[in-house]
Structure formats: structure tokens, C-alpha cells
Structure 1
């Protein structure tokens, strides 16, 4: 029976801050070999569609779990979409403005960010994010928002973003940069993966996932075989069945060879 394999991007397929801005040749070959044997390969990422660069698009994936599971796409069809409550979006945006927090609102295709948010733009430039689907002029009441990302510059703004964790919403926080990702607890990479497996009628024991970060924990512990990258934190590795090498050493290719193509 066919297998379905899911790949995180940052820290797994790419390491933009350390020079890996495209999937390496060895990893590409391993992924293509999976497809050549009739298996499905998917991206599972916190990124929105707007942040998928040409290298990812050209790699020939069978679909995408985007925005931490809020948008799920198989081939050219979105099989699931779940945007944030519009009143909540309005509330947090008002507070982002109040606390001087730079933010981006991530939609299905386009994402929305003000031109004056220079620090946030510089951060995305460092990660080689494309600009094609970034819009600076928008009406908040007319867009659907699936996830937000925020850059905080002082303790009061950090404290506000930390307060957003509740029964409905969760976040990833990079304390070194003051950077947050805010998303609904009802969606995750794991829920997106389960929707794809159901859609394709693939049993969970035939599913695999590669990841390295906090927002990969659920998918690593949900799929039949979760494979943590060697560069993952130890607490993330604890949720995986297998551990491969680092992104810098073609860990995805090694994991495919050792744990899937056997």
C-alpha cells in the first residue's frame, strides 16, 4: 500500500539562516524516489502559502498542510480551510497596534503586512521569503486570517503576546527574537495530516513525518513513524519514534533511506 510522508520546511528541508535555501540534491533524490515507488509526499508547515518559495513549488510535492493545519491542500484542491474568528482578529490587531507590535496576517493565498514594518520584513528577507503574495493595502473586515505572526520589541508587548495562550489559541515563541506565531488550537499539522490520510484512504501506520520544532510535536507523535531531525531539541526528539541526522547533513535523505525505503 502507498505511504504518505510529510515534511516540515524550516530546520528540516531548509536552513535559510545557515545557507540552505533550497532542498539539497541528495534530499531531492530521496523524495523523488519515494514518489517513483507510488508514495505521496507533502509539506507540513507553519508557513502560509505566501511563504512557499519557488524551490518548494518546483519540487513537485503532492500537496501542503499550511498555517499549522488551518489550510490543507491536495494537489490543486483545498480539502480543508479554517480561519480565525474575525472578532478575535480585530481584537488582537487593535492590541498589536496599541503595543507597537509588528504583525502579519496570513490568508489562504495572500498574506497581509504593512510596508512600514521594516524589522519584520527584514526577518522574512533573511529566510528568503517571496514577496509575490504579500499585500500592504487591505481591509481587515474583508479578509480571512488563518494565522498571525508577530515581532515584539519590548517586555510589555511580549507579555501581551504571552497572554494570548488560552483554551482556543496557542503560540510558538522565539525568545531570542521576540517572535511569535499565533494559531488556533483546533488546528495543527497533525489534524491537517489526518485529513489528508482520510482523503487518500491511507492508514495511519503508513504515514511518516519529519520535523524539528515545537509545532512538529503533534505530527511526530500522531503519524505511524515520526522522525525527528538531529538538530531538534531533545524534548522534541522525545515525541518521535526515530531520530535522523541534522538538516545540514541531509538528515531527511538519511531518514528516508534508513526508516522508509527498507
Structure 2
């Protein structure tokens, strides 16, 4: 029976802020072994399409769970999507602008932000995010949005962003870099993975996932074998079946060799 293996990007396959901005040779070799065995390999990420470089898009993955599960592709075909509620989003955006919160709206192919958001653009430059699919000229009424990311160093703005977690929204907040992500509670990497498994008719016990962050918790506890990175926090590790080495020490390759190929 074929297996399906899902990989988070940041802190798992890559660590852009600490010098790993490409899949390392050992990790690539291990993933290529899965492909050679006939197994499926997928990206499961909080990123939208616009934030993936050509190397990841052309690597040979069988599909992508984008924006924390709100947009899912298998073999370049969309099998699921659910945009954020537009009227609710408009109210949030109005408050962002009133409180000087810089934001980017993440769509299917393009993401949308304002040219004058210098802090936000500088933040994504650190991750080598291309501007190829980022547009500054848009009308909110004409686009579908699947996730929002924010950069803010004003305390009132941050507190407003943190207040948005309710029955509809989850957030991730990295206080060290003053970066936040806002996404729908209706979707998660886990729900996206389940849609992939159903589409491919793969039993859940034949599924694996690698991750390190808060938005990986649900997928780590949902798949047949959730594998936390060594650089994950203890809280995240508590939801995994196994723990591998750190991203700096090719933890994905170590996990594939130890828990899947063995």
C-alpha cells in the first residue's frame, strides 16, 4: 500500500532565518527515495502559492495543502477551497488600517498588499519571498482570501490582532518578530490532509507528517504517524508519535530513514 507523507516548510524543510533556504541534499535524497518507492509526497504549509519558490513548486511533490488547509491541490488540480468570509474580513481590514497594522491577503495564486508597507515587505525579503505573485493594486470585492498575515510593532495593533481569536478564527503570533497569522477555524492542515487521503483512497494509518509549529499540532495528532522536528517546542512534541532531529541536522531525512523507510 502506498504511503502519503506531508511536510511543513518553515522550521521543517527550511529555516530561512538561519541559512537553510533550500532543501538540503540529504533531505532531498530521502524524499526522492519515497518517490522512487511509489509513495506520495505533499507539502502542508501555512504559506500560500505566492510564497513558494520555483524549487519547491517544481520539486515533484504530488500536491500542496496551502494556507493551513483552506486550499488543497492534488496533481495541480484543486480538490478543496474555502475562502474567508468577505464581510467579516472587510471589518478586520478597516481596523488594521486604523491601528497601523500592515497586512497581506493571501489568495489562490496571488497575494495582495500595499506598496507602502515597508516593514511587511522587509519581513518577507528576509525569507526570500519573490514579489512575482504579490500585487499592490486590487479591490477586496474582486478577490478571495484564504489567510491573512500581519506585521505590527504597535501594542494597540498587536492586542487587536490577538483579540481576533474566536469561534471563527485562529491566530499564530511570533512576538520576537512581531508577526501574526490569521486563519479560519474551519480549516487546518489536518483537514486538508484528510481531504487528500480521501481523494487518493489512502488509509490514515499509511499517512505521515513532519512539523514543528502550532499550526502543525492538529496534523501531527491526526495522521498515522506524526513526527515532530527536534527544534519544535515541547508542547508541539507532545502531540507527535515520534520526534526526529532538528531542521539544522537534516531532521526530515533522519525521520524518513528511521520511521518510514525502515
TM-score above 0.5, yes or no: yes
Q: Deviations over 1:206-254 (max 9, x none)?
A: 0000000000000000000000000000100000000000001100000
> Which residue of the partner structure matches residue 195 of structure 1?
195
Distance 1:138 1:50 in 2: 15
> Which residue of the partner structure matches residue 246 of structure 2?
246
Q: Deviations over 1:29-58 (max 9, x none)?
A: 100110111100000000000001112112
Distance 1:114 1:191 in 2: 31
Greater Cα shift, 34-43 or 151-160: 151-160
> Which residue of the partner structure matches residue 70 of structure 2?
70
> Which residue of the partner structure matches residue 178 of structure 2?
178
Distance 1:250 1:142 in 2: 42
Distance 1:168 1:241 in 2: 29
Distance 2:117 2:124 in 1: 11
> Which residue of the partner structure matches residue 9 of structure 2?
9
> Which residue of the partner structure matches residue 54 of structure 1?
54
Distance 1:25 1:151 in 2: 33
Mapping 1:73-92, distance limit 5 Å: 73-92=73-92
Give the TM-score, by structure 1 length. Answer: 0.99
Query: Does 1:94 pair with 2:94?
Result: yes
Q: Is the 8 A contact 1:67 1:146 kept in 2?
A: yes
Query: Does 1:103 pair with 2:103?
Result: yes
> Which residue of the partner structure matches residue 30 of structure 1?
30
Q: SS in structure 1 opposite 2:21?
A: coil
Q: Deviations over 1:157-177 (max 9, x none)?
A: 011001100001110011112
- Gap runs ≥5 in structure 1: none
Distance 1:23 1:74 in 2: 21
> Which residue of the partner structure matches residue 234 of structure 2?
234
Cα displacement (A) at 1:128: 1.1
Cα displacement (A) at 1:131: 1.2
Distance 1:92 1:133 in 2: 23
Q: Deviations over 1:85-137 (max 9, x none)?
A: 01011011100000000000000010001111011111101011111100000
Q: SS in structure 2 opposite 1:23?
A: coil
> Which residue of the partner structure matches residue 155 of structure 2?
155
Query: Does 1:20 pair with 2:31?
Result: no
Q: SS in structure 1 opposite 2:56?
A: helix
Query: Would you identify which runs of 4 or more consecutive aligned residues in structure 1 move more than 4 Å?
Result: none
Q: Is the 8 A contact 1:67 1:147 kept in 2?
A: yes
Give the TM-score, by structure 2 length. Answer: 0.99
Equivalences, count = 262
Cα displacement (A) at 1:153: 1.7
Q: Is the 8 A contact 1:28 1:59 kept in 2?
A: no
> Which residue of the partner structure matches residue 41 of structure 2?
41
Distance 2:146 2:139 in 1: 16
> Which residue of the partner structure matches residue 219 of structure 1?
219
- Gap runs ≥5 in structure 2: none
Distance 1:153 1:95 in 2: 15
Distance 1:151 1:17 in 2: 16
Two-structure CA RMSD over aligned residues (Å): 0.6
